[in-house]
Structure 1
Amino acid sequence: MRRHGWSGDIPADDDEAVARILSVTRHAIDERGTVTVSEVATTLGVTRQTIYRYFPTLEALLGASALSSVDGFLDRLAVHLGALTDPTEAVVEGIAYTFEQLADDKYLSLVFTPGKASAFTAGVTSDLAISFGRSILGRFGVDWAAAGFTGDKLDELIEFMLRTLQSLIVDPGRPPRSGAQLRGFLQDWVAPSVRAHAASCQD
């Protein structure tokens, strides 16, 4: 880690440097909904190059800040899903609930909404997007391994869910689906593929 700047208060290590950068970024997002690399650097008393050393792009910085701040959503998701253990129902409700929460959760919106520095900036198969998908599935009370989703198959399920969510965000329908209508749509077209894979692993 470079040993200069930081307004005279040098971080002990890279982990502390990253934590400070993310803290300043989140504070700016909380206040104004956005931030620039220059603003973060100025606040911390470092150069933009220092920020870029840890986060090579603004998208990476905002994406990491958002992912570090979505615990509230993940906790609500866990409560909402309750004791749901069926993988098909969990996938349908996980997609629907996440989509419905976008309008009310600033950081969740930052992760997903097109036109912002989102997890989808680099595509639904980016490390950032897959990491968020794993965080969602980890809150479900589902035995994914028993349902046949392990290793690459679990990552493919995450990709499938993210691609479906991305499609709903880009074009929510005319008129937009929500509530029971959204869940009915997902039950008709998403649920069968999840159910079929789970069933094939029981044979």
Structure 2
Amino acid sequence: MRRHGWSGDIPADDDEAARRIIAAARQAIDARGTVSVSEVAQTLGVTRQTIYRYFPTQESLMAATALSAVDGFLDRLAAQLGSITDPSDAVVEGIAYTVEQLPHDRYLGLVLQPGKASAFTAGVTSDLAIEFGKSIVQRFDIDWAAAGFDGHKLDELVEFMLRTLQSFIVDPGGPSRRDAGLRTFLRDWIAPAIAAQARASSQPAK
């Protein structure tokens, strides 16, 4: 870590430096809804090159900042899911609730909205997008390994959910794809796929 700048208050290590950068970016986003690398650098008393050392692009800075601030959404998601323990029901409700909350949560929008600096900017299977997807499934009150989703299969489930989310974000559809209609659609088409995978994974190898 470079040993100058930071308005004389040098971070103890790279992790602390990254946390300070994200905190400064989040403060600006809370105030105005956006932030620039130059603004963060000025706030922290460092050069733009220092910021880019930790976050190579404006998009990566925005996405990391958004991911650090979605705890409120994840807490609401956990409350919404309640005691759901069936993997199919949990995936349906997780996708539906995320789609519904997107217009109302600034940071969730920064994570997911295509065309902005978001986890999806680099692709639905980017590291940031996968990290967000895993943070969703981790809030489900489900023993994923016991349900047949362990290791690679859980990663594939996260990818499947993200690709489904992306499709609804890019093209929400008409009134029939909202509220109860959205859940009916997901139960008819998504839930069977989850249930089939769970059954296949539980079958003993021949």
TM class, shorter-chain normalised?
over 0.9
Alignment length (residue pairs): 203
Give per-residue Cα distances to partners, 1:90-132, cap 9 Å, x unaligned.
0000000011010111101100011211110111111101111
Matches within 5 A, 1:100-115: 100-115=100-115
CA distance in 2, matches of 1:176, 1:143: 32
**Equivalent residue number for residue 70 of structure 2:** 70
Distance in 2 (CA, whole Å) between partners of 1:177 and 1:60 is 31
- Sequence identity of aligned pairs in percent? 72
Map 1:54-203 to 2 at 5 A.
54-175=54-175, 177-203=177-203
Matches of 1:100 and 1:59 in 2, distance apart? 24
Name the amino acid aligned to 2:55: F
Runs of 4+ in 1 over 2 A off after TM superposition: none
Shift, 1:41, TM fit: 0.5
Superposed CA RMSD: 1.0
TM-score by length of structure 2 reads: 0.96
Q: How far off its partner does 1:174 sit? A: 3.0
Note the residue ranges of structure 1 that are not aligned, 5 or more in a row. Answer: none
CA distance in 1, matches of 2:56, 2:181: 41
What amino acid does structure 2 have at the position aligned with 1:201? S
Take 1:186 and 1:79, find their aligned partners in 2: how far apart are those partners? 20
Q: In the aligned structure 2, how far is the partner of 1:185 from the partner of 1:118?
A: 27
Unaligned runs of 5+ in 2: none
TM-score between both structures, scaled by the size of structure 1: 0.97
